[in-house]
Amino acid sequence: MKKVICLEVTGMHCPDCPSKVERSLSKMEGIEEVKIDYDTERGSVTFDNNLIGVPQIIKRISKMGFHAEEVQVNIH
């Protein structure tokens, strides 16, 4: 089943860091789309939760030297 999560990603030191995270996550099975914004330190990941879970996504980002956590987004 397709799922979208919002993440806060901190520790990025340059504007190229988000694209490195996006490329790395995109190589994982089950990841459909990744968008990370350097200025806001936020991003979204669309994935098939039958193939991959949030802990695996966060672990991959952590292995790259960044801190990531899922955040709740309030839509009014």
Domains and CATH numbers, the chain: 2-71 (3.30.70.100)
- Looking at residue 72, its pLDDT comes to 85
Residue 76 pLDDT more than 60?
no
Instruction: Tell me which residue of 16, 21, 15 sits closest to 66, measured CA to CA.
Output: 21
Can you give the C-alpha Rg of the chain in angstroms?
12
Q: What is the pTM of this model?
A: 0.91
**Alpha carbons 21 and 63: distance in angstroms, whole number:** 10
Looking at 12-21, 32-41, 65-74, which range is the least confident one?
Answer: 65-74
HSE (side-chain half, CA atoms, 13 Å) at 50: 2
